[in-house]
Amino acid sequence: MAISTALIGAGAGVAAAAPNVSLPQQNSQLSETDLGNNLATVPGTTKIIDKDSRAGDFSLELPGTETSTQAISPSDIPATLFEGKGAALVNTELQDAAISTFATAAGSQSIIKIDSHSAATDYRFPLEMPQGSTAQVLQDGSVDIIGSDGTSLGSVSTPWAYDANGGTVPTSFTIDGNTLIQTIQHTPDTAYPVVADPSTAWGWSLCVASVGALVAGNLLIASKITKLGGVAKVIIKLKAAKNADARYKALIAFFGEFTGIGAVLNNCK
């Protein structure tokens, strides 16, 4: 299973607020080498920190014991669902399970691989967010992270999980205090291994706000965004675009012509 943090998803909140924790005291502990999309590791921990000059810092900590062994290969994951780039940034081991986190165009993707029914069904990821921020689970299953001023800062994409035969395994997010929990409902009848995904996207607050405004003001676009896997997936595509023309073509491919496209293009540079 993979956990990915991504920009705000569509839909009204079915919310559980998470207390925020400010990160500035950790800056001196960051690895000197930033990884992927402004990502940094924290030596001696299983944390990945996504740093953004406007949104602030966002930290996701992997459960399990850190290991240098990457037990998860991109070949274990359905091709259309793997968003990672390069080798894993952090790897952990748990009972009959392993997690590897990869950099993506928009943030990070944490892949959970479950090897047997003896593995846990709940995976807990402690979060640290900018002062005053809250996390909420939305109707589409994604998690929205909102700043103290009401601005969308980022989110965790709608989760997915698949068994060894390519069948879906029920999975969902909940928020417990400042911890993101991904539940994967595997059973003795499940074909192992199971892989699942939470993916994160962070920063780009103006872009998120622009796309969020489209969702709030246009039911047709909101429906299309839900079918695309949430706003997170849209933002990832926009961030991966090399120039304004590529972003424009991506938006037209997603939604067709719509009022407000200029604002989205301007804010999603």
pLDDT digits (tens, 9 = 90+) for 160-213: 999 999 999 999 999 998 999 999 999 999 999 999 988 887 876 667 667 767
Inform me whether the pLDDT recorded for 112 exceeds 70.
yes
Domain residues of the chain, as ranges? 2-204, 206-267
Mean pLDDT score of the chain, rounded to an integer?
A: 79
Report d(CA 258, CA 213) in Å as an integer: 12
Determine the pLDDT at residue 261.
Answer: 73
Q: Which residue did the predictor score with more confidence, 74 or 25?
A: 74
Of the candidate ranges 72-86, 112-126, 241-255, the one whose mean pLDDT is the lowest: 241-255
Inform me whether the pLDDT recorded for 23 exceeds 70.
no
Of the candidate ranges 57-61, 85-89, 205-209, the one whose mean pLDDT is the lowest: 205-209
Report d(CA 80, CA 98) in Å as an integer: 21
Burial of 60 (0-12, 13-18, 19+ CB in 10 A): buried
Place of tokens 């009959």: 96
Could you tell me what percent of the chain has a pLDDT over 70? 75
